[in-house]
Amino acid sequence: MSTVSARVHQHPRMVFASANWCSTASDLPNPRRLGARDIGEIVVDHRSSWVRKLSIGSGDYFVKNYEYTTWKDRLGNWAKWTAPWRQSRAARECAALTWLRTHGFAAPEPLACFESRRLGFLQQATLITSAFDGAAADQILPTADTTTQRDLAAAIGAFVRALHERGFRDRNLDLRNLLIQQHNEQITIAKIDSPRFRIVQPGRREDSLATADWNRLLPQLAQFGIADQARNSAEL
């Protein structure tokens, strides 16, 4: 696998860099090395995608990679992420994080995004972000007491309402992608992994995409008996 990864990630091209990338890059491995599996702490490890956590002097960072090693992989995903005229999944996630932060929502800072392509088709994409000090909602809710579960549901409902009011339609609204910070009675929610997001005209209104967000999220909350709390909070 290391041989394949090295071949795929020979000449990564930067497609995004934040204002803080230059000051951060000197502390991190080079872009080609960031595309390897054998760095950092394993967070997620799938056949064609993986996430690693890097802890260095200036802080903690997450490196997310998507890899399409064969033409079968590239052609099989061309309609979504790999075609020459399409943004990679990593680039779309980067764009979503940028939009969220620009519009006042909590989110990890996207620092850089790199792509490697062959004949225009995506071979590998790498996204580097800062760490967000929070835990995923699907990890917190199962062990939380009833009061905390209801408070979190209300906060999640208000968060989704705010997203929709600003025109953000997530299309990937899962509890595992909601990071929760809890400080005393203050709850802060950050959204990650939104490659399929869409932006519509802002304003508090329902549409098919907003309804689809709720239809995806509410059954996950219903497992804990708190779907109504979330929906009621969104309707206040």
Q: Are residues 6 and 120 in the same domain?
A: yes
Pair 126, 21 in one domain: yes
Show the tokens assigned to 231. 């929906």
88 and 146 co-located in one domain: no
Residue finishing a domain among 99, 130, 161: 130
> pLDDT for 179-213, tens place per residue?
999 988 899 999 999 999 999 999 977 899 999 99
Please tell me whether residues 107 and 31 are part of one structural domain.
yes
In this predicted structure, the answer to whether residue 80 has a pLDDT above a threshold of 90 is no
**Do 101 and 159 fall into the same domain?**
no
Q: How confident is the model at residue 236 (pLDDT cuts 50, 70, 90)?
A: confident
User: What pTM does this model have?
Assistant: 0.91
- 110 & 42 share domain: yes
- What is the per-residue pLDDT for 10? 52
> Which residue, 85, 109, 130, sits at the end of a domain?
130
Span 6-47, pLDDT tens digits: 444 458 999 999 999 999 999 999 999 999 999 999 999 999
Same-domain check for residues 158 and 107: no
**Which is nearest to 155 in space by CA: 130, 129, 183, 131?**
183
- Which domain-ending residue is among 130, 161, 182? 130
Q: Please, what is the Cα angle at 54 between 64 and 125, to 5 degrees?
A: 20
Domain range holding 193?
Answer: 135-234
Q: How many CB atoms lie within 10 A of CB 138?
A: 16
The DSSP code for 18 is -
Among all chains, which residue has been given the structure tokens 């064969």?
70
Q: What is the pLDDT of residues 42-79, one digit of tens each?
A: 999 999 999 999 998 778 999 999 999 988 889 988 88
Domain count, the chain: 2
The CATH number of the domain where 201 resides is what? 1.10.510.10
Mean pLDDT for the chain overall: 92
Does residue 23 sit in the same domain as residue 102?
A: yes
Whether 119 and 7 map to the same domain: the answer is yes
CB 82 within 8 A of CB 116: no
Tell me the pLDDT tens digit for each residue of 84-134.
Answer: 999 999 999 999 999 999 999 999 999 999 999 999 999 999 999 999 999
Instruction: CATH number of the domain at 21, please.
Output: 3.30.200.20
Same domain, 201 and 214: yes
